[in-house]
Amino acid sequence: MTASARLEWGTTYQVTVLELGLACCGVEVMAALDRLPDLGVTPVDGAGEAHVLVVSGTVTDVMLPAVLRSYEAMPEPRYVISVGACSNTGGPYWDSYSVTKGIDQALPVHVAVPGCPPRPEALLEGLKALHRLVNA
């Protein structure tokens, strides 16, 4: 991606991203994070400074409360990107007694990135989709 492709988010503040990598999809997200500066967003470690929550990997019912706490700690405006089949629907584990059947059952998901796992480019496309949503 070239510098000319950098997204302008229409804000004087940094657009900050918190990644919750819960399984293998998290590895793909980490690879994509290397390119995030080109998209005008900044990875952060704390939910209190994040405007975009990226949930990737298998969300178990045991982990769900921790995901919700992260979301609740985020300042407004806040957005959620669900990455991968597991986070979107439960994926290959959709019939497991312990797996949440899609993070959208618990959070407002603004963009869902398909795949098992999605390629890093797919996350970048997801961020572009969120950019269009924010600037609509």
Phi, psi (deg, nearest 5) at residue 132: -65, -40
Helix and strand element counts for the chain (H, E): 4, 5
75 and 48 in contact (C-beta within 8 Å)?
yes
Rounded to a whole number of angstroms, the minimum distance from the CB of residue 33 to ligand SF4 is: 16
Q: Least Å distance between CB 101 and ligand SF4?
A: 13
Q: Which is nearer to ligand SF4, 7 or 123 (CB)?
A: 123
**Shortest Å distance, C-beta 24 to ligand SF4:** 3
Distance CA 22, CA 17 (A): 16
The footprint of ligand SF4 (CB under 6 A) covers 23-25, 57-58, 84-86, 91-92, 116-117
